[in-house]
Amino acid sequence: MTPLSPAIAPSAVPLDLGGRTALVTGAAGGIGRACALRLAAAGAKVRAVDRDAAGLELLAEEAPGIEPRVLDLTDLDAAEAAAAGTDVLVNNAGIQLVRPVEEFPPDVFHTVLTLMVEAPFRLIRGALPHMYGQNWGRIVNVSSVHGLRASAYKSAYVTAKHGLEGLSKTVALEGAAHGVTSNCVNPSYVRTPLVERQIADQATAHDIPEEQVLTQVMLRDSALKRLIEPEEVAEAVAHLCSPQASFMTGTSMILDGGWTAH
């Protein structure tokens, strides 16, 4: 196992989002859940979007100001409509499948790109009119170290994250004149159910025992030999919504434990 992660202060970044409306996708668990709680703690009204109705209800019980919205983001028209009136948009929802290219199901490849590239595009498209109208908006795209580097057996995920990086930069250039910033956060492997569900597939793909996946695959290229916690990613998201980050746009905030230092 990896060393214990440091305790994460719930409000390490001074942030007041009172009167703001945030929308967080993939909010029922993992990074999305941590982001929803962090933004709610900063005073935002949070629209928590996910397909997992039960997970959303549990989330809503944890903090006032969280409004659960059950939504399948592959319904692109519904996704765009849901983003209307949003001040802070956190594109986080994602899925993963580990397979060699020649064995990767084309329908799953299509679904990954729909959920992780086209849905963020439609959500941004739905949010921008309101943001432009008030000359203020914050868009944070939860990318990955795989938006900057590739790994074998992750063709759809790596393709989607690279696409999200390009979308984020384009929106940054267009939104700057309207007070809108657009940035990515790029964590390496995060301690989430999405990562835990990869272990068996990674073991099969790399032909190693499951207990070796963490050290030989997930942490192999990281200088810091631990998983990053969802709350650490949420603090980076919060920072990008803060006044201290008002000059940051079109960037990729790397949280990879030294992976890309190689």
Write the pLDDT tens digit of every residue in 16-68: 999 999 999 999 999 999 999 999 999 999 999 999 999 999 999 999 999 99
User: How far, CA to CA in Å, does 166 sit from each of 54, 147, 250?
Assistant: 34, 9, 9
pTM, two decimals, is 0.91
Residue 257 lies in a domain: no
What is the percentage of the chain residues whose pLDDT exceeds 90? 83
pLDDT tens digits, 155-193: 999 999 999 999 999 999 999 999 999 999 999 999 888
Q: How confident is the model at residue 199 (pLDDT cuts 50, 70, 90)?
A: confident
- Structural domain total, the chain: 1
Q: Is residue 29 part of a domain?
A: yes
Residue 201: inside a domain, yes or no? Answer: no
Average pLDDT of the chain is: 94
Q: Vertex 62, ends 59 and 68: CA angle to 5°?
A: 35
Q: In CATH, what number is assigned to the domain containing residue 234?
A: 3.40.50.720
Q: Which two tokens stand for residue 210?
A: 């499951």
User: At which residue do the structure tokens 């700057």 appear?
Assistant: 176
Q: State the average pLDDT over residues 246-255.
A: 98
Query: What pLDDT does residue 196 have?
Result: 83
What residues form DSSP beta bridges with 25?
Answer: 49
The pLDDT value given to residue 5: 53
Domain that holds residue 84: 21-191+229-246
Residue 139 falls within a domain, yes or no?
Answer: yes
Q: Is residue 121 part of a domain?
A: yes
Residue 216 forms part of a structural domain = no
Catalytic residue numbers, as ranges: 157
